[in-house]
Structure 1
């Protein structure tokens, strides 16, 4: 078993040795081959193909898995005429995605892309990476990726090879191509350098110009080793990892870490945790595959809490629920632990540092509100508005320095404000206590500013989550003429629950110590918008709040029939579009209506335009 971390003293002990002794590996393949030498016949990868616990899963031993990775690396080099490859992927978390991930990083550079984006955005990302090879899922009844590939290929002139997982006319079959390659060794030389570029992960939202974070082999290895130690992983562990591999947590925090420990990585169907049939029988799968570590975002945890309890003994081997990817409300963590008697452990991570900064050790005690201890050889501090370090316990913007921090974005001019003098400025608001534990109290861009008063949305969300009827909650700022912003909240109720927003508001007031932080409005919704990994997507909620607020103002001005409002994201900027309906008020000209709209918008720092029919009114 890897040396487990339970407390700061364990980190200090590990840091007392030279870094090369702590982390001897210089590439991800070298780390995998070490695990293969140690445990050649143990199961490395298990793939649950169907949401039926009785159907046998597919398995690869470490020896078989390493063979497939070498084959993939040899294939990518061959398709690149012997030169380092750049391999873009549009794949769910399936075995071929893992062969591609580690094979691409061995043969060149991996460029994973969120397959839920539209063709234009995917093409922009693929082109920005300089990828010459694309590996994509072929036509599939459960997940349509392939329909976009032709358009993506047309827009990416650097893309010379397209490999399909499955079958598709005119495309090279990935599995067949892999089978033709040598798998016992690499057919090219690989420089063993931790600073060698391994991957480009896109970040910064789902719209606007692509921002590509660079990872070195050393970044990823440090994250993976730190995770194995924080989670106390050993070769007897079995990790259920439903995260997509375009997300750093799925690839390295819960993926590569498992492989470095010689443990077993279980993939829960092609759709992962979005497979409702799998989730409905979640605990059956946990029992059948003898799972010891669960991984999921807080919304997955909430979903499990709303579902059936495991039968006696089904979760007996589970050591912890590992979560991250979005803020963890204390009530969700405590509720999960009460309901399932499974410890919950949180993390703080970023794409720019290969996935993780700090982790709550499984062997330690969960501290409410904490994101855990920094990884070994890692420094975390908070800074004030002038960039000066703050003392322990003081709240500021968190910064991190250490072996996990990547070299920056592919466009160096975009590093400003994020990478500075060896430090990564996270944008998270929080503090580090005297024991070194990291706490997040908000996100700089998520803070609601009401009349100059900064309101942490998590304060509102935590209060709402205390109510037994609430399944999920999110708070955002709605523009206001006088206060700048007012807090509003959206809630999803548990099945069968029924409570009026006014009653919820009265309930939350007792837990919100600051009167300005009490939400102006609480709105019940059937579901909250989420990203591909289940993280609540607040930009969509902000747009909804802006739209509702402006419609209220149009109604007060007697213009609700004469103007319609649409709020959307245009090139990364929230934009309000007013569509005038002059026919609804024959006495008012389009120019007069436009002037009335301008008066409404005058107090707001929002981009907007006014349209009448096909024309835009300036």
Structure 2
């Protein structure tokens, strides 16, 4: 039903047929209705509880019925156009039902349940949430008490529902599953394509509320385009271990299965942090006949350490990855182990999760994130002048098309992101080749600035990953009194491998031709700090590097100040805080840190 895209010529043929023909179901609700009509008894979602309970499955007809019941429930509880339903849950079967039901009733606001309480409160208030569906009390992912208190703190008028808990959830206004059973399952009119479907938090796991608007057409377009890029067929199985508060879990992998009539396999509340599942991954492929794997590079890195054994993985067609730069070495290792191609995806919350992808049916071009989606424009400009770059010349990547969000809920936050004439500034540095393929070389805001010289962390990371003992690598800037920042790196070694800092420094010195870009120090970690979807959480690494630099700079003082903390603020600035410091000692501290790009906050004694 979703003819595969092989090449740029196929994209041109789609565009020649017109946008309305390509997206005849221009909302997630319309896609669900279509799936229920075309494949009513086919499995839409198979959920694998990680607590030993039996697998749960739901057909497309049953999923559409549940979504209709959820929409009716939300409207009865006060939802509707302009009213947000917060879905504060990991990925479970009822998270899917709540998300699509909220969009059908009004708008959804999916939120990471692991956020700090003050950030949760701010998001709930900023989104205009009136109903919240929260993971109920359970021993595996214990968030109910903290999240329910945050919901109450955000406003007494919010209706609080618990879902997928293992028992009573104190303070709940009702159990979501039980309430669904009492609602009628009547179908509704399709939402307008340009109406707001969701508001997605973006900008990391801390900071002031920044909510990205998605229209129904944004989400449905990305789902349909993704399905065509994958060549996804009815009945195939896609492993979707991403949470639904991440656009990849919701649209790039989740809704694309609905568009194609494929099955989503969800590996429990923990997703791809479910260690028993990851530890038996190749046999899980055999058991569930997995055709496509959706993952970030850190997950692929974990999987290449798992022996194939006697598992029959003949069903697996491709591994799909995005979220951060894909090291060519990692892709080659995964392909050598599995015999399965790796295909890269490029997207962000502000463009509904996808703007380019490598077609699964086409060849992999090392370093490429593939071709722009149909009806999608990409420009590369010189960020200082705004001029168009030449083919192969790196610059700031802009995009425009039906995937691009109308903006942030607070439009004042998007002045440098959402530009004139519908262009979105991605914040990524890269280039295009003669075929229009997109290549990423770094993040504009991820650049290490050493003495006014810009250093791309990816160059250091790629070099380190080329060492046979290194599994994962991340480079950041460390504050320095003289250079502003110095490049440093953090690595996780392969299981059973050994390497010293000195060995790695010598190796990377040979691999990184630019002396200024060679890291000054490398830390060996047992595990890399990650976000809930498996991306490397660089603020934690920047803070660790800054702590070392601050401690070294203050070593000449008679004694280190007590109650000194170093952290990374939501703005990205490094903040050094000291409590109860006499003014004379404060002067010494500021003198010792002079020249470092840090913000110093002292409380007088």
Task: With the length of structure 1 as denominator, give the TM-score of the two structures.
Answer: 0.93
Shift of 1:29: 1.1
Partner of residue 399, structure 2: 400
Matched residue, 1:598: 590
Residue 530 in structure 1 maps to residue 518 in structure 2: no
Moved more, 176-185 or 291-300: 176-185
| 1:587 corresponds to | none
For the 8 Å contact 2:447–2:457, the answer to whether it is kept is yes
Equivalent residue number for residue 169 of structure 1: 170
The residue number in structure 2 matching 1:221 is 220
- Does the residue aligned with 1:16 lie in a helix, a strand or coil? helix
Equivalence map 1:533-548=2 (5 Å):
533-548=533-548
2:110 paired residue number: 112
Alignment match, 1:502:
502
Match of 1:523, SS state, is: strand
- Which residue in the other structure is 2:327 paired with? 329
Contact conserved, 2:546 with 2:574, CA < 8 A, in 1?
Answer: no
Determine the structure 2 residue equivalent to 1:488: 488
State the shift of 1:498 in Å. Answer: 1.4
Change (3 A) 1:299 1:197: same
CA distance in 2, matches of 1:319, 1:472: 25
User: What number of residue pairs does the alignment pair up?
Assistant: 599
Quote the Cα distance in structure 2 between the aligned partners of 1:157 and 1:6. Answer: 51
The answer to whether the 8 A contact 2:148-2:160 is kept is no
Q: CA deviation at 1:22?
A: 1.3
| Distance apart, 1:506 and its partner CA | 1.2
Q: 1:505, 1:6 → 2: CA distance?
A: 42
**Residue 605 of structure 1, CA deviation:** 2.9
Do structure 1's residue 377 and structure 2's residue 375 form an aligned pair?
A: yes
RMSD: 1.8
Uncovered stretches (5+) of structure 1, i.e. residues with no partner: 583-589
- In the aligned structure 1, how far is the partner of 2:22 from the partner of 2:39? 21
Tell me which moved more, 283-292 or 92-101. Answer: 283-292
- Say which SS state the counterpart of residue 239 (structure 2) adopts: strand
In structure 2, relative to structure 1, the CA distance for the partners of 1:562 and 1:174 (3 Å cut) is closer
1:60–1:81 distance in 2 versus 1, CA, 3 Å:
closer
Equivalent in 136, 151, 154 of residue 153 of structure 1: 151
Which sits farther off after the overlay, 126-135 or 55-64? 55-64
User: Is the counterpart of residue 136 in structure 1 residue 128 in structure 2?
Assistant: no
- 2:292 corresponds to which residue? 293
User: For residues 233 and 578 of structure 1, do their structure 2 counterparts lie closer, same or farther at Cα, with a shift above 3 Å needed?
Assistant: closer
CA contact (8 A) 2:72 2:184 kept: yes
Following the alignment from structure 1 to structure 2, what is the Cα–Cα distance between the partners of residues 129 and 547?
Answer: 35
TM-aligned CA distance change 1:158 to 1:147, over 3 Å:
closer
What stretches of structure 2 of length at least 5 have no aligned partner? none
Say which SS state the counterpart of residue 397 (structure 1) adopts.
strand
The structure-2 alpha-carbon separation of the partners of 1:542 and 1:84, relative to structure 1 and needing over 3 Å to count, comes to: closer
**Per-residue deviation at 1:21?**
1.1
Deviation string 1:425-451 (CA, Å, 9 cap, x unpaired) is 000011111110001100011111222
Aligned residue for 2:4, secondary structure, equals: coil
Partner Cα separation in structure 1 for residue 407 and residue 306 of structure 2: 42
State the distance in 2 between where 1:83 and 1:466 align.
52
The alpha carbon displacement at 1:155 in A equals 1.9
Q: CA deviation at 1:335?
A: 1.2
Asked if the contact 2:576/2:598 (under 8 Å) is kept, the reply is no
- Please report the TM-score for the alignment, with normalisation by the length of structure 2: 0.95
1:234 aligned onto 2:233: yes
Q: In 1, Cα distance between the equivalents of 2:311 and 2:87? A: 41
- For the residues of structure 1 that align with 2:370 and 2:443, how far apart are their CA atoms? 17
Distance 2:82 2:101 in 1: 11
Aligned mates of 1:365, 1:182 — CA distance in 2:
48
The DSSP-based 3-state class of the residue aligned with 1:92 is coil
Inter-partner Cα distance in structure 1 for 2:79 and 2:455: 56
**CA deviation vs aligned residue, 1:283-333 (integer Å, no higher than 9, x gap):** 2222111110111111111111122325241x1100011111122111111
Distance 1:572 1:162 in 2: 32
Q: 1:232 to 1:47 in 2, by over 3 A?
A: same
- Return the alpha-carbon distance in structure 1 between the equivalents of residues 77 and 500 of structure 2: 61
Q: What is the deviation of 1:499?
A: 1.0
